[in-house]
Amino acid sequence: MPKNLNDGCCDHGGKRSGCGRKPGVKTQPIRLPAWLLEQLSTQGDPRALIIEACLAQHPSICREGLDSND
């Protein structure tokens, strides 16, 4: 293995500064039935439609950062 590797670069993976989830962002994977995803797909982007429906149900939710990937 060459000795001239950069300090921020490693071929073994692991923790890297600047990568991963940002502090304060909470995510939770939710499994939806395939039929529901198929129906939503016929109307557009399923993720956007779900967010839109949630905001319609709970208008007090802050819309800031809506376009982020979180």
Q: What is the pLDDT of residue 66?
A: 52
Q: What is the DSSP string of 39-68?
A: HHHHHS-HHHHHHHHHHHH-TTS--TTTTS
The separation between the first and the last C-alpha atoms of the chain, rounded to the nearest angstrom, is 37
d(CA 67, CA 59): 17
Residue 25 lies in a domain: no
Residue 53 lies in a domain: yes
Average pLDDT of span 44-69: 79
Q: What is the pLDDT of residue 36?
A: 94
Residue 19 lies in a domain: no
Please say if the pLDDT value at position 4 is more than 90. no
- Say which residues have a Cβ less than 8 Å from residue 51's Cβ, sequence separation at least 6: 66
Of residues 9, 29, 10, the one with CA closest to residue 21: 29
Residue 46 lies in a domain: yes
Residue 6 lies in a domain: no
Range of the domain at 39: 31-64
Q: What is the pLDDT of residue 27?
A: 76
Q: What is the count of structural domains for the chain?
A: 1
Residue 17 lies in a domain: no
**pLDDT, tens digit, 9 for 90 and up, residues 23-54:** 776 778 889 999 999 999 999 999 999 989 98
